[in-house]
Structure 1
Amino acid sequence: MEKYVEINSMGYTLRGMMHIPENRNEKIPFVILFHGFQDDRNEINFVHTELSRRLCERGIGSVRFDFLGSGESDGCFEDITVSREVQNGLDILDYVDALPFVDSSRIALHGLSLGGCVAGMVAGLRKEKVKALSLWCPALDLVYNMREKNLCGQDVSDIEEKGYADVEGLRLSLDFYKDCLGIDPYAIASQFDKRVNLVHGDQDITASCDVSRKLKDMYGDRADLLIVSGAEHRFTSVPYRKARMESALRFLCNELKKG
């Protein structure tokens, strides 16, 4: 079953889609999916929609919300900061944790690109509530590069002068830049103490593959890392997409359906 849902976060309405397996006889494991920068809950080439549906076929529920200022949720793009997305993520986790049909001991987070950065930070802040962490092309480097006024290769050095950066016709606020100056995603994500699955393309110029390598080193034996040769940030081929999808499905099923 696919069901439209809404929650309140920081006074804004977040809108999303929940996937609930049919014929459930007990509380179910659950995955929360976080989308990336300038995307929405369906994600690049609808890949999060596919992941949710395939998880549902395997008896695992999920929810995909648009972050504040993205997709159908309240706000505009200028409202976005990394810290606000992290707060959205914490509020979504609390919402899922309170659902009567969800097994609170089997909740995983999954994130793509900046959503992977957010997922890692939420997992670090609420490690007692998160069973496993799945990351596709996590873009923690976006935060650190933004401190140098570089956004995914775009020079935004005029952001203080103009009060915003022009990102493909969208206004990225000065607040976004200032927020990046004050947060340390690696330090927060490092607090997570359970299993992690990382998938990254070695041709990714949007979020460096070095991010996933650093996370692998940081998490040690608790993390698996798949580097897909030839894949860029969008994983725009059938074989690349299949490799990424199957890695996440295998990991999430193994972690959430065991025990």
Structure 2
Amino acid sequence: MEKYVELNSQGNVLRGMMHIPDGISGPVPFVILFHGFQDDRNEINFVHTELSRRLCLAGIGSVRFDFLGSGESDGTFSDITVSKEIQNGIDILDYVLNLDFVDANRVALHGLSLGGCVASMVAGLRKESVCALSLWCPALDLVYNLKNKMLCGMDVSDIDQKGYADVEGLCLSLDFYEDCLKLDPYCIASQYDGPVNLVHGDQDITASPEVSYHLKEIYQERAKLTIVEGAEHRFLSMDYRKARMDSALEFLESRLGESK
């Protein structure tokens, strides 16, 4: 079953889609999917929609919300900061944990790009509530690069003077930049002590594969890293897409498929 859902987070309404497997009598394992920068809950080429539906076929529920200022949720793009998305993520996690049909011991996080950065930090902050972490092309470097006034290869050195940056027609606020100055994603992510699955393309110039190599060093034997040769950030071929999808599904099904 797929159904539209809403959640109040920091006084704003987040809008999303929930997937609940049919014919499940006991508590349902669950995955929370976080989308990336300038995207929405369906993600590039609907890849999160596909992941949710395939998880559902495997008996695993999921929910995909638009972050504040993205998709159909309240706010505009100029309202977003990474810290606000982290709080959105924590509120979504608490929402899922309080659903009476969810197995609270089998809740995983999955994130793509900046959503992967957010997922890793939510997992670090709430490690006792997250049984597994799945990351596609995590963009922790977006935060660190912005400290040097670079955003996805774009020079935003005039953001202080203008009070915003024009990001492909969207207004990125000075608050977003100043918020990134205060964050250390690797430090927060390193607090997570559960299993992790990392997938990255070796040709990714939006989120460097060095991010996933560094996370592998942080998580050590608890993490599996798959580097897909030839793939860039969007995984724009059927073969690349399949490699990324299969890796996440195998990991999530193995971690959530049986009661722990």
Fold match by TM threshold 0.5: yes
Residue identity matched to 2:187 = A
> Hey, which bits of structure 1, 4+ residues long, moved more than 6 A?
none
Q: Distance in 2 between matches of 1:228 and 1:38?
A: 23
Corresponding residue for residue 235 of structure 2: 235
2:186 aligned partner = 186
**Other structure's SS at 2:161 match:** helix
Alpha-carbon offset, residue 112 of structure 1: 0.1
CA distance in 2, matches of 1:128, 1:169: 40
Q: Secondary structure of 2:226's partner?
A: strand
Q: Which residue of 2 aligns with 1:51?
A: 51
Is 1:109–2:99 an aligned residue pair?
no
**AA matched with 2:10:** M
Cα separation, 1, equivalents of 2:160 and 2:8: 31
Output the amino acid matched with 2:5: V
Q: Deviations over 1:1-36 (max 9, x none)?
A: 000000000000000000000011100100000000
How many Å separate the matches in 2 of 1:65 and 1:154? Answer: 28
- Secondary structure, counterpart of 2:232 in structure 1: coil
2: distance between equivalents of 1:42 and 1:27? Answer: 26
After superposition, the CA RMSD in angstroms is 0.4
Aligned residues: 259
Q: Within 5 Å, which residues of 2 pair with 1:57-68?
A: 57-68=57-68
Q: Give the letter for the 1:126 counterpart.
A: R
* Structure 2 residue 199 is matched with structure 1 residue 220: no
**Can you list the C-alpha shifts for 1:121-167, whole angstroms capped at 9, x where unaligned?**
00000000000000000000000000000000000011010000000
Structure-2-length-normalised TM-score: 0.99
Instruction: Tell me by how many angstroms 1:257 deviates.
Output: 1.2
Return the letter of the residue paired with 1:83.
S
Partners of 2:168 and 2:194 lie apart in 1 by 37
Find the aligned partners of 1:25 and 1:202 in 2 and give their Cα distance.
Answer: 42
Secondary structure at the aligned position of 1:231 is classed as: coil
User: Could you tell me which residue of structure 1 aligns to residue 204 of structure 2?
Assistant: 204
Cα distance in 2 for partners of 1:112, 1:128 equals: 22
Structure 2 CA distance, aligned partners of 1:231 and 1:127? Answer: 30
Stretches of structure 2 lacking an aligned partner (at least 5 in a row): none
- Name 1:146's counterpart in structure 2: 146
Tell me the SS of whatever aligns to 2:127.
coil
State the one-letter code of the partner of 1:214.
Answer: H
CA distance in 1, matches of 2:197, 2:168: 31
1:119 match = 119
In structure 1, C-alpha distance between the alignment counterparts of 2:34 and 2:245, rounded to whole Å:
15
